[in-house]
Structure 1
Amino acid sequence: MQGAEDSTEPLYVCTTMYQENVEEISKYLCSLKCILLDDILSDVKVETHLVMDDGARDGHLKPYASQLIQLIQTYFSLDSSDSSVSPTPYGVQVRWRLDGSRSSSSMLFVHLKDSRKIRNLKRWSQVMYFNYVLRYRNIGASINGSSDQKNQDGTMDVKEPTGYVLVTDADMEFTVEDIRALLWSCHLNRRLGAICGLTQPIGHTTSALVWFQQFEYAFAHWWGKSTEYSLASVLCAPGCFSLYRAAALHDVIDEYSSHVTSGYESLLKDMGEDRWMSLLMMSKGWEVGYNETSTNKTFCPESNDEFFAQRKRWDLSTLSNTVLSITRYLTLADANSNFNVFFLGYSLTVLLLRIICPAFFMFQMALGLDAQGIDVTVGVICAMTVCTGYGVLCLVTRHRCSVQIRATTFLVVFISLIFVCLAVEMAFDIHGGSFAADYQSGQNDNSTGQNINKTWRQVDQIMRNHNKTPQIGQMPVHWINILIFLSPFLFSVLLHPDHWSVILRAIPHFSLLPALQILLPIYMYCNMADQSWGTREQNRPRDVPTICPLKRPESEKIDWDTKNEEKVDMKEEVEVTCSCHVQYLKQLSDNETEFWETLRNTVIGTSTEFGLSGDEIGKDLGKLRNILLPVVMAINITWLIAAVVTKKTSGSEVFTWTCGVFVAVGIIQVLSMVACKIQSFTVRAALRTDEENARGRAIWIKR
């Protein structure tokens, strides 16, 4: 930012949008309003950019764009004099000046992309706003104006940008304190290129799947991200809510903007853009951090269909980026001192455990059936038959067709019920001797079934016999085993008392976990060629009025339906009609128009100008699936055979050793969680000191 008076670094809030509904956008806008009007950031220059995929078409605002404009005007109490609407090389731009309690006004930009003019997808929306804020707004621009300063030769000065970029999704809920915690972490560690917080999923309704994700998210952050940050660096600063240092973005933006040349790169870049960004930053020597003090909420999938489609994208991108980080280990270690052999070993172990998860849980189910008298070999064969049939179904049917959806839902429920029944049975008797079998034996002895007193005596005797299990002190051994299993989860909750309710989600989580760990990888690999995003593709906008109250006096009338875009001066105040062909607009400056044209023509393009087309990527992904699927199947089948053989000969040595590896990883994660918790106390103490010394001023982002 230019000017001697501008000693604070700017904060750009950049958000990608697609088809969020009213409730989701409302959560985001409420959070945004609090940030823009809160006194804590009153001396910080904040600028907001919302980029919506497919928000305009040939000059028309599409329904989701109309819905967004109305909600913005409602939540920020804006009138017509605050808005400015402009046609752009990528679609439509709407901007407002927001005057509130802060010392300087903030600008809010809405960029509505036309898919016929510029490429869709989240990564390309990020490329748009990263380039715009770093190479146009940040350099030679004031926060209230446009960047129109050029050299005598007509080129722009390219300087290292300053400030921070907060990237979010449009369904997020957060507070100014959450952003403040991330900013303070960046102030304490100048090598942090990006940092994320603790994301908590919420749902429109209450369901077992939502509860599953709430438990999963909590421990994925408490254990997973804590371990990555303690050992080396967080491998993924999620695009839903993370803070990026502008200087770090400047180092990687060109490579981040590269086009896809293979199916593998599609998984790496387009489906896992946040992991790709984090990996690029680490390769340039930057750290990616985690601060659990900063919490945020996001809406999560509530149907099996949407959940599986989302996790397919996540897991494939995670696999691709993890493999790349392992193969690039020497390069990463040379560029970033945080990477070490221990972290490489941890990453390899976690990768292998993820690959064999289907076989591990199938064998676990077979062991449970074996305790009920069904031979473990038969149990494994039955499980493999069901999984093979499901895989074939996914291969021969179209992704997300009704048959595939129903089969997936049925198998999730069916497998979950099997595990729940086995868990209940094992809770009664883990060390042999089924309570149900004893009771049935008692019923057979009581052939008449009429003597109630005798029956109750039998039940009493069974209970007495059942309690004769190995004990430590006064407690049966199997209850000791259960407490040992639950202890790390209970300990984690004790360290996070603000999130104690997560433990209540443990039952639905562990009920669904085996089924999802078995079916999700099959679904993921078999549907690999599908390129759909997975979430919000079935949403429908609410009914919106034909007229959006965007008014501009002294504006120009442009008919976007005509090729010549004939202009007619208008002297009276007019309304923008979202569904008609005539808009009343203010033209962008020549420099900004040139910037967008250059970015579109040389960097982003449309869906066919650069890189592979969608059809070519789909074919390449199909070839990759045909290679990867047999390899993963071979690994799982080999593990299952080894587990069954050792079970028959020496007592489940393979299964026991695998459980030991899981336990070892869990111990590392719990210790890392404790280390991160200690660090979070330090951050909170620093924030309190900041409040006392600076009285709320944002000194942590002073240059």
Structure 2
Amino acid sequence: AESLRMRRKKRAVKDTWDPFQLNPAGAEKEQKRRCFQLAQHLVAVLVGLAVLTTAVVAKGSLLVLSTLSSPMSRRTSKEKQFYMLMMMFCLVFPNVLVFLKSLWRCSFKSFVPPKMKIMAFICLIEVLVSLGTSVLVLVVMPQFDVLTNLFIGGGVCIVSAIMQIIFRLQRDNWKIVFPICSLILTSIGYCMLGIDYYVRVTSYVDRQGSDCYIYVALGIFSSLLVSLCWWENSLQATNRMQDTLSQLDGFRDFVFVISSILRILVIGNYLPSMSVLTLNKYCPHLLSQAFCSAACHWFGVVACKIHSVRMSFALPLCCTGPAMLLLGIVLFFTLGWKLDNGTKLKKKNVCFIAEFCDKLLYLNSKNTSAVLLELTRSMCRTSLNSHYFQWPFAMLALEGVCMWSGLVTCTYYVWKIKVQRIERTSQLFVRRLYESAFIDLSLLLNTKMKVPKAKTQERSCVLYLCATMWHETYDEMLKILTSMFRLDRYRGDPKEDHKDCFDFECHILMDDAFMTDDDTNKRLVNSYVNDLIHVVIEVYRVFTNKEPDDVSIIETPYGGRLMFVLPEGNMLYVHLKDKLLIRNKKRWSQIMYMYYLLGWKGYIVKNPSKIPQLNNFSRASLVSLDSETFVLPQYDNDNKRKFISDDNTYILALDGDTDFHPKAVILLVDRLRMYDNVGAACGRIHPTGMGPMVWYQKFEYAVGHWLQKTAEHVFGSVLCSPGCFSLFRGSALMDDHVLKRYSTTAQRAQEYVQYDQGEDRWLCTLLLQQGWRVEYNAASDAYTNSPQEFEEFYNQRRRWGPSTLANTLDLLHSGPETVKRNESISGIYVFYQMFTVGSSILGPASVTLMIASAFQFVFRLTGTLSIAVACIPPVFYILICFLTKSNTQITIAGIMSVLYAFLMTASFFSIIGDMVIQQTFLTPTGLFLISMAIMYLITALLHPEEFFLIIYGLMYFICIPSGYLLLTIYSLVNMNNVSWGTRETNKGGVEQKKLHNLLCDKTCRCCCWDMKIQVWLQFPTYLTADWVHPVKEEFLKKLTYFNMKRNLQEQIRYALRNKDYDEVCEDLVLMLTDTLNVELNSVGPEDVLSDYQLEELQLALNRQARQTLKTNRMEKLEKRVKLAIEKTLAAPQVQKLEENENDFWNKLIERYLKPITHSKEHQEDVNRELKSLRNKVSCRLGVEPLTLMFLLSFAILLIVQFLAMLYHRLYFLTNLDDTGDDHFIMENPAHNEIFLTTEDL
């Protein structure tokens, strides 16, 4: 309603006959969703309850098992043996999980073998911990009662408390009080334990003998051994040891594989000799403790990642012990109440509990649970069952309170943990392994005392938004400019601090921005540049209600540049490329801005001999200046320039039609800030548009991201970060064999296909080969226009298909070397990619086999005949592609696609009809169709915000023959065509570069002599190019009476936005508006003023402003007001490029970006090689559907990707709680979104 009133208020001001303006979608500020906040708190409560419930069940199950396996239990010997076996299973289960996960990571990720000394030390610790756990759980706990077993676990924090004291002593911190209290309280608890058993022996409670002292000593000693499990926690909190222990991360997976095996062997030594037992009746008890402890660990990690550490993690875990005690007391007195009703106990007797325990000896278990009776009898074995009730009860209570208080004071730091926006599990917890016997204690003690903040998250980063344009429409330009202005509004003033700590610049590189005027023969900007100027003005007006203030026009060696100051002070640069001066197309535009931003802007002059080397295997090709800045290696005899880049310099590659929100950018920035080995990150791309082709692409993009990209992210690394929305790390692009290799000119046929047809995939291939990882973030959404016409779609995929195959084969060819260099790529992942390539190569044959099955169902043909008929259309289309032109091929493909769609529709209904006739879906085709449908449906359900895309699945299904058969044939047969095929226009003629300061250039012929006459200025002057003045006129059109009035009011209010100046601001606005009306009384509302009128108007406004400020005694504001008036009336400034930068561009163009002029012989050779390459590939396109292996390979690949998607979504959905709009309004930068991290894989 408020927005509607504002729009009405704007329309009410009718100072012009053209007050209307555009309002692009998404220009409004992001609003906070209250329902999402409520959902966040609800999820936090549910997770906290899940942590408490699973911890209580896990702890209670272990206490029950230890009670049932006790020698004093009334279970049979076989049952006691099996309960002992169940406890061993509970201890072994976490080690099995860690073994499998570490083995998985070692298989799919590269690792460095540890040194033998470190390995031996870690194995010794693991053996001692597993020995202590086994002794405590399998030997000591069966000898103790249930209350003692509940309390004794609190003592496992004693070593952690001692090490904390040592750590705090080094820092002289007052927080040393907490570990000292913990040590004292735990020691008192152990003393109370010894006194308790002394009372039992002297009071003859439960016939305790002196041998119980041995078990007490074993319990204390084994608790000390168990407490060694978290020895790293206190050491990692020290700054000295933090870097040393961080070296363990490189081979921690391999260590976990060995240590988990050792722990399993140590625990297995306690396996008792037993006969064969029936497992069925014990399975529920067997699974409850093991799986509840695993679930508690998982929910605990989730609680930390949704930033609910206190309410959903620390509080439930600290309350687990008291909750168990309260539950035991309730059960004890519940049974006592039942027994009281039956036998009428004497309540007035002081030894009521002793009498009650005596009655339990003769109580029948028919009406009462046997487990409850065993637990109650175990509680009767304590010193409560003595003739002195009061002080034994106080002693037991003091023992429990001391143990519990010792744990709470030892883990006080958990309540103060600050979790970053994206935090790895390894940064939150010391160990990946948890102790199932002490699940609550394990999670608390395993939480890091000091969560290290990544240096990259503390430092500011520089973000360059680089969009490449090629004949975009007005609406497409509107999308990308609106997105840039959104980010400018979100980021705010670059001079002020911001919670996300980044600065950014926007760069737009427009290819083919100039044309030659037919009448004047001058080189002018074309209509696309004029459209872009109008879009900038229009979007600026939407966001600020005024026109752009500071606009500069610069002539450059590559064409021209326009500079804008965005509303919040950030910069927008529009680079206009002249294809006669610099190379055209997207790859060369990327090389252009990479060299400019990473090379020229990072240029330094230092002595190379003073640069220290960086000891990092993944950065071996870079040199560190200050552990933050990286340069290419230099030698004393190397005269090349040194190019530097901060490791926090990022380049966001965009297309000219991309639409995104600030949140999407920040999520990608966080990925690169968090992981130093991530060279690029991409998000979820959504195609936009209308029509059947767009429907097909929406489901195709969805399936590609849901399954393929997710599988690549889980198993290794994403192979392609799309150029329409990808974030690259500057130091990764500057690495050896990346940017230098990327700037190579294609010479051979294969290079034309690999380099120029899919430049984004080739760049990612170079990054992967150099050891960098490419990540995928499913929550980073971007929208881009997709081809809406059949011809445009086929031409686009004609480029993508061969380039994808070429780059994947290149990566597989360098597989062994890439596996050694890249820690994210393993041999198994290379095999997975080989399987993927094989499945894609078999795609046409698989589709042909599917079509043959369709012929069988629809026309009731025999198997052999249906295969023969199904092979005729592909063979026919192959001949068409070899014999006709591209347009004819696409026309025939469109006709065949429609026919195939009818066939697939008929086949679909025939399969359903066949299942109805047979009254079962257990047919080969029915099972395949239903299983695929269920798999896609589950996948869509796990992506609730995109579930509606499943509707387009039917369109995708009937277009499978067109997309996977006809399109493949068209792409491979037309591989020799290396033109883009989209947004193509007629090429202009060749134009010679105009020379400045040349007054006369004539050629005369006299008799047999040819004379060239040139007249130059003796002193060169700066002359603007022909295109500058028309561009300036486009901006001068904004200086109408109506626009000036509106701009003047906005400028004055912005200049005097302080609350102290509200009164004088309104006076100024009123007086200056009156002056403007008087001076321009004879000017129409949409007339453009001349330079003389602008100058006279500025003098009048300055005079009136000075008088008004003097009246209000605010002369100090005169300079600020004059600047606002000057911005209102200023025309675009024509500036000259700095000499050094001009020299840089000239040399860059000469070295890398000079327009390519191939000779006719070279072009013929390349065409011949391309046709030869086309023929080689097409000859292997034979359709041989002989077996069901084709469909089997497709099904296996789909199942593998489906499982990877489930694994990915499992972690992603746990962190969905923080994906709301709070990202834009929270003051605490640590509170936001967490996603699947590399540690979780």
Determine if the TM-score, normalized by the shorter chain, exceeds 0.5: yes
Going from structure 1 to structure 2, the CA distance change for 1:506 and 1:174 (only over 3 Å counts) comes to: same
Give 1:30 shift: 1.0
Aligned to 2:187: none
Give 1:477 shift: 9.6
Q: Deviations over 1:73-109 (max 9, x none)?
A: 2212474752111221111111112241xxxx21111
Contact 1:40 1:697 in 2 (8 A): no
Instruction: Supply the RMSD in Å over aligned alpha carbons.
Output: 3.4
In structure 2, C-alpha distance between the alignment counterparts of 1:224 and 1:539, rounded to whole Å: 38
Q: Deviations over 1:200-239 (max 9, x none)?
A: 1011x2x221111000101101111111111111000110
Q: Which has the higher contact order (CA 8 A, sep 6+)?
A: 1
Aligned to 2:878: 391
Instruction: Choose the corresponding residue for 2:1174, options 617, 620, 625.
Output: 625
Identity among equivalent pairs (%): 28
Q: Which amino acid aligns with 1:695?
A: N
Is 1:50 aligned to residue 508 of structure 2?
yes
Is 1:94 aligned to residue 562 of structure 2?
yes
Aligned to 1:343: 829
Q: Pairwise mapping of residues 590-669 of structure 1 onto structure 2 (< 5 A)?
A: 590-608=1139-1157, 616-630=1165-1179, 632-633=1180-1181, 636-637=1182-1183, 639-640=1184-1185, 643=1186, 654-655=1187-1188, 657-669=1189-1201
Aligned to 1:238: 722
Is 1:484 aligned to residue 931 of structure 2?
yes
In structure 1, C-alpha distance between the alignment counterparts of 2:680 and 2:853, rounded to whole Å: 45
Give 1:378 shift: 2.9
Q: Secondary structure at the match of 1:167?
A: strand
Instruction: Choose the corresponding residue for 1:410, options 867, 873, 895.
Output: 895
Going from structure 1 to structure 2, the CA distance change for 1:325 and 1:682 (only over 3 Å counts) comes to: farther
Contact 2:845 2:1190 in 1 (8 A): no
Is 1:382 aligned to residue 846 of structure 2?
no
Going from structure 1 to structure 2, the CA distance change for 1:575 and 1:699 (only over 3 Å counts) comes to: farther
In structure 2, C-alpha distance between the alignment counterparts of 1:677 and 1:559, rounded to whole Å: 65
Contact 1:66 1:578 in 2 (8 A): no
In structure 1, C-alpha distance between the alignment counterparts of 2:839 and 2:761, rounded to whole Å: 20
Going from structure 1 to structure 2, the CA distance change for 1:305 and 1:187 (only over 3 Å counts) comes to: same
In structure 1, C-alpha distance between the alignment counterparts of 2:726 and 2:840, rounded to whole Å: 26
Q: Pairwise mapping of residues 131-530 of structure 1 onto structure 2 (< 5 A)?
A: 131-139=595-603, 157-161=642-646, 162-203=648-689, 205=690, 207-251=691-735, 252-371=738-857, 372-399=859-886, 401=887, 403-430=888-915, 469-470=919-920, 482-530=929-977
Give the structure-2-normalised TM-score.
0.46
Give 1:575 shift: 5.2
Q: Which ranges of structure 2 fall in alignment gaps of 5 or more residues?
A: 1-457, 516-521, 606-637, 988-995, 1002-1015, 1035-1131, 1234-1241
Contact 2:583 2:1155 in 1 (8 A): yes
Contact 1:123 1:273 in 2 (8 A): yes
Mean alpha-carbon deviation: is it higher for 24-33 or for 190-199? 24-33
Is 1:576 aligned to residue 576 of structure 2?
no
Q: Deviations over 1:555-613 (max 9, x none)?
A: xxx8999887985789xxx9535899xx9842200111111111110112212279996
The structure with the largest helix share of the pair is: 2
The structure with the largest strand share of the pair is: 1
Going from structure 1 to structure 2, the CA distance change for 1:585 and 1:674 (only over 3 Å counts) comes to: same
In structure 1, C-alpha distance between the alignment counterparts of 2:699 and 2:677, rounded to whole Å: 32
Q: Secondary structure at the match of 1:342?
A: helix
Going from structure 1 to structure 2, the CA distance change for 1:108 and 1:611 (only over 3 Å counts) comes to: farther
Give 1:387 shift: 1.9
Instruction: Choose the corresponding residue for 1:28, options 473, 480, 484.
Output: 480
Give 1:538 shift: 6.0
Contact 1:575 1:584 in 2 (8 A): no
Q: Deviations over 1:646-691 (max 9, x none)?
A: xxxxxxxx22x33222222112111211232244357666778987
Contact 1:193 1:245 in 2 (8 A): yes
Going from structure 1 to structure 2, the CA distance change for 1:75 and 1:136 (only over 3 Å counts) comes to: same
Contact 2:711 2:1201 in 1 (8 A): yes
Going from structure 1 to structure 2, the CA distance change for 1:577 and 1:326 (only over 3 Å counts) comes to: closer
Contact 2:540 2:547 in 1 (8 A): no
In structure 1, C-alpha distance between the alignment counterparts of 2:461 and 2:1229, rounded to whole Å: 16
Contact 2:591 2:739 in 1 (8 A): yes
Give 1:467 shift: 5.1
In structure 2, C-alpha distance between the alignment counterparts of 1:158 and 1:354, rounded to whole Å: 41
In structure 2, C-alpha distance between the alignment counterparts of 1:41 and 1:341, rounded to whole Å: 48
Q: Secondary structure at the match of 2:660?
A: coil
In structure 1, C-alpha distance between the alignment counterparts of 2:1203 and 2:928, rounded to whole Å: 21
Contact 2:688 2:783 in 1 (8 A): yes
Q: Which amino acid aligns with 2:869?
A: C
Q: Secondary structure at the match of 2:659?
A: coil
Aligned to 2:311: none
Aligned to 1:456: none
Give 1:8 shift: 1.4
Contact 2:911 2:925 in 1 (8 A): no
Give 1:528 shift: 1.0
Contact 2:770 2:822 in 1 (8 A): yes
Give 1:191 shift: 0.9
Q: Deviations over 1:14-65 (max 9, x none)?
A: 0111011111111111111101111489632111111111112464111111
Q: Deviations over 1:467-526 (max 9, x none)?
A: 552478xxx998665432211111111111011111111111101112321101110111
In structure 2, C-alpha distance between the alignment counterparts of 1:522 and 1:249, rounded to whole Å: 35
Is 1:18 aligned to residue 470 of structure 2?
yes
Contact 2:681 2:777 in 1 (8 A): yes
Instruction: Choose the corresponding residue for 2:537, options 73, 78, 82.
Output: 73
Aligned to 1:695: 1228
Contact 2:681 2:727 in 1 (8 A): yes
Give the structure-1-normalised TM-score.
0.79
Q: Which ranges of structure 1 fall in alignment gaps of 5 or more residues?
A: 1-5, 142-152, 431-465, 541-557, 644-653
In structure 2, C-alpha distance between the alignment counterparts of 1:181 and 1:327, rounded to whole Å: 33
Q: Secondary structure at the match of 1:196?
A: strand
Give 1:259 shift: 1.3
Instruction: Choose the corresponding residue for 2:553, options 72, 75, 85.
Output: 85
In structure 2, C-alpha distance between the alignment counterparts of 1:568 and 1:359, rounded to whole Å: 66
Q: Secondary structure at the match of 1:96?
A: strand
In structure 2, C-alpha distance between the alignment counterparts of 1:471 and 1:25, rounded to whole Å: 51
In structure 1, C-alpha distance between the alignment counterparts of 2:931 and 2:1140, rounded to whole Å: 65
Contact 1:16 1:169 in 2 (8 A): yes
Is 1:587 aligned to residue 1122 of structure 2?
no
Contact 1:271 1:313 in 2 (8 A): yes
In structure 2, C-alpha distance between the alignment counterparts of 1:234 and 1:611, rounded to whole Å: 40
Contact 1:12 1:48 in 2 (8 A): yes
Is 1:671 aligned to residue 1203 of structure 2?
yes
Q: Pairwise mapping of residues 526-537 of structure 1 onto structure 2 (< 5 A)?
A: 526-537=973-984
In structure 2, C-alpha distance between the alignment counterparts of 1:469 and 1:120, rounded to whole Å: 62
Instruction: Choose the corresponding residue for 2:580, options 110, 116, 132.
Output: 116
Going from structure 1 to structure 2, the CA distance change for 1:471 and 1:255 (only over 3 Å counts) comes to: closer
